[in-house]
Structure 1
């Protein structure tokens, strides 16, 4: 931490996970690879490696790839209901990873085992009751995502949800959904959070390995160009309103199920997950989210359609998980540039609140046009 950083920006999150700044890059499937994770952590934030779409061996390789790039702390995200969740936790311990991140929180028994191994357990939630439940199970902190966030999301905006959860629990709360700059960081701290977590903003950096064509698709969008839908996997998620999404929204049930079955077969082949484990995960999803069998089958859509866009660069074939914040993101800085900009903006905002600097809007770069990027 630099000597000029405001003391308010040194929060309990920094001490909990050993980072310099209270800024988290979320574990986005097919996006948060070793390069982005390492760049975030090296810049002083907490990078989260996306492990949910990787096999155990691939996760080990990715962890070591991060280690080759930085010795700063980072975390790994994986599914709490994965059949090998404890084995993955043991892998983190062996590889010296401190933080286990979850989009779907594990059960109480798994959380207890992970904590006994020395891991810091931080799940993401979208409702107060879920935060209260995982606190009772012993997690160390919680990422609270408001409805503005991309991917699977709830219905309550961050401005209401974050202070509601802060008032309900005694563990550190990290605010997510709708954050991109230092003003948002200061606002989150004012609401009682210990930091912010960002996905879309980190996806749109020069350190992100997502293709330039896909990044341009995000940059040209407005704040009204996303939609929350359950047609992908039965659970509401926010994505950019693209042609593939429009087709899915208007698709009849039978063709949708046929496509879902095809995606399930493809996902099994790519992931290497045995059919019995996929069935077990499907049963867990059905119980957790009260899904019908057709919705469980649809669950293979999300990883396959994300892979098409984020790995293959085919925005015309896949889906683009996105927070509404994409509509006001205007450039592609490095993670280092982004984090330093956020800190400078936060310092300015704190100075205005203290009366140390005159009130003025925070300047942002002009939106990058497609021609400028080429």
Structure 2
């Protein structure tokens, strides 16, 4: 009998379970990525918040921990993208994921290097465009998801994307998933698996400080908000006093903070002023951003770092999916995946009568 959990995504990614751990900036380090892949899922290393040397060390750490395949999350407009592509190709990384849409040229360069490409989409037309440019899979993230997200709920977006591109490439469902029942729901919609961020953020291997994890565990499903006050794009975070102040503030008062954070992000990631300007111009051209939006583009990463790395959510922000309100523990990744698989198989058995 065919195992319904052994989907096209498993074949493509080389994993046992159709469960992807997304490349969350400041969160998805080598420890979390290796633990996910070793336990049968597919881990993705967050490279956007690393410089090239840090990424090199992180890839080495993952490979030292497991020989299972894993991916690396990239930004399509990074000035050193060519060097990153060469690095992950030389290191045998299986896949590059993108939160935003990579260009066709970027996709071609990755394919020429033997690397699979999987962007995240929030609309049917985006999935169709990415399919036309040759990507190998897509993550369809509904509005329940954390971080940058769209307005369409997963239950409406997912069947749309599956109907549009699912006959040709695997579709992973994201936004609102944390257990085996959700995995079965995604498969019923025609997806090839799920991609989760918040569930993995709240794991033992996540490098988020324990006291910050407690803030997530205490949140209810109604304690999040989607706002453009951080970087000009809709982003779901836990509602805090700081977030409320940012929402109430005017663009005039937000801009100086954004400029300071952009320069801080440049220092953290080792980006030169020249490269920062080049990257900004590329982003402005590809995403049709105003100069003010460009200045705010690095605002969110530094506010997130303040909470998730420095451990001070009172001066930072906590990106999250609404599913944080359903999670009440931080077990090891292996336990999370084992429980999801057991719950999914029990749900399938129940449906079969």
TM bin (shorter chain): over 0.9
The corresponding residue for 1:77 is 73
Q: Does 1:148 align with 2:134?
A: no
CA distance in 1: counterparts of 2:264 and 2:206, whole angstroms = 25
CA distance in 2: counterparts of 1:215 and 1:234, whole angstroms = 26
Q: Which residue among 169, 186, 193 is the counterpart of 2:191?
A: 193
CA distance in 2: counterparts of 1:116 and 1:292, whole angstroms = 33
SS in structure 2 of the partner of residue 7 of structure 1: coil
Q: Does 1:67 align with 2:57?
A: no
SS in structure 2 of the partner of residue 9 of structure 1: coil
The corresponding residue for 2:233 is 235
Query: What is the root-mean-square deviation of aligned Cα atoms in Å?
Result: 1.2
CA distance in 2: counterparts of 1:351 and 1:133, whole angstroms = 38
Deviation at 1:282, TM superposition (A): 2.0
Alignment of 1:126-165 (within 5 A): 126-165=122-161
User: Could you tell me whether the CA contact under 8 Å between 1:214 and 1:309 is conserved in 2?
Assistant: yes
The corresponding residue for 2:311 is 313
Say which is worse superposed, 144-153 or 103-112, in terms of deviation: 103-112
Alignment of 1:175-194 (within 5 A): 175-194=173-192
Q: Which residue among 52, 55, 77 is the counterpart of 1:56?
A: 52
Deviation at 1:171, TM superposition (A): 1.2
CA distance in 1: counterparts of 2:277 and 2:350, whole angstroms = 55
The corresponding residue for 1:361 is none
SS in structure 2 of the partner of residue 8 of structure 1: coil
User: Could you tell me whether the CA contact under 8 Å between 1:182 and 1:345 is conserved in 2?
Assistant: yes
Q: Which runs of 5+ in 1 are unaligned?
A: 356-374
CA distance in 2: counterparts of 1:52 and 1:100, whole angstroms = 12
User: Could you tell me whether the CA contact under 8 Å between 1:81 and 1:104 is conserved in 2?
Assistant: no
Q: Which residue among 272, 288, 291 is the counterpart of 1:290?
A: 288
The corresponding residue for 1:360 is none
How many residue pairs match? The answer is 351
CA distance in 1: counterparts of 2:79 and 2:136, whole angstroms = 23
Q: Does 1:218 align with 2:209?
A: no
Query: Residue deviations 1:199-242, cap 9 Å, x none?
Result: 00000011111111110100001101111111111111101101
Deviation at 1:6, TM superposition (A): 7.3
The corresponding residue for 2:112 is 116
Q: Which runs of 5+ in 2 are unaligned?
A: none
What TM-score do the two structures reach when normalised by structure 1? 0.92
Q: Which residue among 83, 97, 104 is the counterpart of 1:101?
A: 97
CA distance in 1: counterparts of 2:37 and 2:240, whole angstroms = 32
What TM-score do the two structures reach when normalised by structure 2? 0.97
CA distance in 2: counterparts of 1:133 and 1:220, whole angstroms = 39
